[in-house]
Amino acid sequence: MKKQSRATLVRQRLGELYPQPAIPLDHVDPYTLLVAVLLSAQCTDKMVNKVTPSLWKLAADPLAMCRRSVEEILAVIRPLGLAPQKAKAIRGLSEILVNQFAGQVPESMEELEKLPGVGHKTASVVMCQAFGQPAFPVDTHIHRLAQRWGLSSGKNVKQTEADLKRLFPEDSWNVLHLQIIYYGREHCSARACDGMKCGLCRELYPNRKKPIVTLKA
């Protein structure tokens, strides 16, 4: 099966499994989504969703967050990985939003990536899920599955993102990245599948004889 045919099959099967995938991070607006995605680095969405209700009680918009100290923010998010760095980033980006963007999250990849603690993946999530702009955020699940499915050589997430954007139509990116994440968590996780066990891996490569060792991002 050629790469484009595999991509078409992946899109079809994931559309059947997850026709309307929900955004896994709880949020109410672009700002709370931005903060939630920032908090999800090296942490599960489930853990983030446990912490953010208390964080929104502390401050749910940039101006309110600016009035809180890093120590107050840290006290709330301490259960999460990299909490000290994340607390500083949340405080810092909130101040920038107030001072430079009238308290609004900018609708620009370039401006988002300049914010403290906001990398390319976080900015991509905000662009596609908060503003509906086409983007293909690549996390560890997507990076791993793109390799298992023969859609990317996967040396790094930047290359994986570029490969997937070439294979899938632009109007599918925003939904497809969520569908792949859900499939990776539920059926083709790092431990549960090695490229030979889950239904989609077997359908794409029915004659595969050896496990796939995926490259880390």
Tell me whether residue 216 is one of the annotated catalytic residues.
no
Summarize the chain as % helix, strand, coil (round to 5). Answer: 60, 0, 40
Query: Which residues lie below 8 Å from residue 71, measured CB to CB, with a gap of 6+?
Result: 87
Is 177 strand, coil or helix? helix
Residue 176, H or E segment: helix 173-186
Distance separating alpha carbons of residues 136 and 138, to the nearest angstrom:
6
Nearest to 49 by CA among 32, 66, 30: 32
Quickly count: other Cβ atoms within 10 Å of residue 60's Cβ: 15
Distance separating alpha carbons of residues 39 and 126, to the nearest angstrom:
13
> Which residue in 45, 114, 121, 197 is the catalytic one?
121
Tell me whether residue 121 is one of the annotated catalytic residues.
yes
Please list the active-site residues. Answer: 121, 139
